[in-house]
Amino acid sequence: MDTKPDRNIIQVRQSVTRANDRTADKLRKDFHDRGIWVLNLVSSPGAGKTSLIERTLEAFKSSCSILVIEGDPHTRLDSDRINAMGVRGIQINTRGGCHLDARMIGQVLEKTDLDTTDMIIIENVGNLLCPAAWDLGQNHTVVVASLTEGEDKPLKYPEAFIRSQALVVNKIDLKPYLPKSSENLSGNALQVNPSLTVFNVSCTTGTGLADWFQWVCTCSGQTRE
Ligand SMILES: Nc1nc2c(ncn2[C@@H]2O[C@H](COP(=O)(O)OP(=O)(O)OP(=O)(O)O)[C@@H](O)[C@H]2O)c(=O)[nH]1
Ligand SMILES: [Mg+2]
């Protein structure tokens, strides 16, 4: 069997991501000119991205104007959760697509008033493989990983961890019910990306979130009430 990579497929992939990078760079310049900080959250399905956004909105929504863009293959469930908090949440359905791309973000923003916006939080499609490779014009990418996923995930899916600036280890309230080896998750993540800033949190109990909020303040230039 021929196991050589198909050069034509690699060339098409490179030109598609290059076109995406150009669109993302334009978005990033626009965000910069408007003074908007943009966060891209990636994780496997169910790690707690929307829960982390909800806790972050509770902390920041009275002191700054936040827009949340939700990416899911189907349903409006996550944007409904955001709108229920009185915050603008826009849903993108990828119809089975495994990641958001810069064109999708640009299309949403063309129809959105950004004049008073301070912060945009993008929740990418739940998937540890593709989303990290698609630049959305963000300032920071954060990978959320829950303790229940297994400590081997950073080793098996390194891209999401390599391309992120911070790791939020979520669901630490479940530690008593998990094998001791689950605690190796952040060590494995630091092995693939030693520069990650790590937060150990529970979005359910609120443990560890103060440090996360402080990081958001520092990166965004925003303050909390
Ligand atoms: N025990 C525990 N459960 C949590 C925690 N954070 C989130 N959950 C639960 O985990 C499940 C998934 O949380 P979501 O926030 O919807 O996860 P998500 O990453 O947004 O999921 P997708 O958008 O489907 O990829 C929900 O049932 C949450 O209540 C936590 O810190 N501890
Ligand atoms: Mg979600």
Q: Indicate which CATH number applies to the domain containing 40.
A: 3.40.50.300
**Which residue from 41, 49, 51 has its CB within 8 A of the most atoms of ligand 1, so it is best to mutate?**
51
Residue 192 lies in a domain: yes
Going by CA atoms, what residue is nearest to atom 11 of ligand 1?
Answer: 46
Kindly give the distance from the C-alpha atom of residue 181 to the centroid of ligand 2, in angstroms, as a whole number. Answer: 26
Q: Identify the bridge partners of residue 70 per DSSP, sorted by sequence position.
A: 91, 123
Kindly give the distance from the C-alpha atom of residue 35 to the centroid of ligand 1, in angstroms, as a whole number. Answer: 30
pLDDT recorded at residue 12: 61
pLDDT recorded at residue 10: 62
Ligand 1 nearest-atom number relative to CA 170? 31
Q: Is the backbone of residue 193 left (phi > 0), alpha (psi -120 to 50) or beta?
A: beta
Residue 6 lies in a domain: no
Residue 222 lies in a domain: no
* Pairing assessment for the beta strands 119-123 and 37-43 based on DSSP bridges: parallel
The helix or strand, by DSSP H or E, that contains position 70, with its residue range, turns out to be strand 66-72
Residue 3 lies in a domain: no
Tokens of 16: 């598609």
Residue 221 lies in a domain: no
d(CA 61, CA 64): 6
Q: Identify the bridge partners of residue 122 per DSSP, sorted by sequence position.
A: 40, 69
- Find where tokens 């950004």 sit: 114
Residue 186 lies in a domain: yes
- Find where tokens 């909390």 sit: 224
Q: Which ligand is nearest to the CA of 126?
A: 1
Residues lining ligand 1, CB < 6 A? 43, 45-51, 78, 126, 170-171, 173-174, 202-204
pLDDT recorded at residue 102: 98
Kindly give the distance from the C-alpha atom of residue 45 to the centroid of ligand 1, in angstroms, as a whole number. Answer: 9
Average pLDDT score over the chain = 95
38-75: pLDDT as tens digits: 999 999 999 999 999 999 999 999 999 999 999 999 99
Ligand 1 nearest-atom number relative to CA 47? 19
pLDDT recorded at residue 150: 96
d(CA 191, CA 162): 10
Going by CA atoms, what residue is nearest to atom 12 of ligand 1?
Answer: 46
Q: Which residues surround ligand 2, an ion (CB under 5 A)?
A: 49-50, 78
Residue 123 lies in a domain: yes
Contact 106, 134 (CB under 8 A): no
Give which of 140, 99, 98, 100 is closest to 119, Cα–Cα. 140
Tokens of 85: 């908090």
Claim: this prediction has a pTM higher than 0.85:
yes
Give which of 122, 117, 87 is closest to 105, Cα–Cα. 122
Question: Count of domains in the chain?
Answer: 1
Kindly give the parts of the chain with pLDDT less than 70: 1-13
Residue 169 lies in a domain: yes
Going by CA atoms, what residue is nearest to atom 1 of ligand 1?
Answer: 171
Residue 47, judged by CB atoms within 10 A of its CB (0-12, 13-18, 19+), counts as buried
10-30: pLDDT as tens digits: 666 677 789 999 999 999 999
Q: Which ligand is nearest to the CA of 54?
A: 1
Give which of 121, 119, 126 is closest to 144, Cα–Cα. 126
Ligand 1 nearest-atom number relative to CA 78? 23
Coil, helix or strand at residue 91: strand
Give which of 216, 134, 143, 127 is closest to 185, Cα–Cα. 143
d(CA 147, CA 183): 7
Parent domain of 74: 18-216
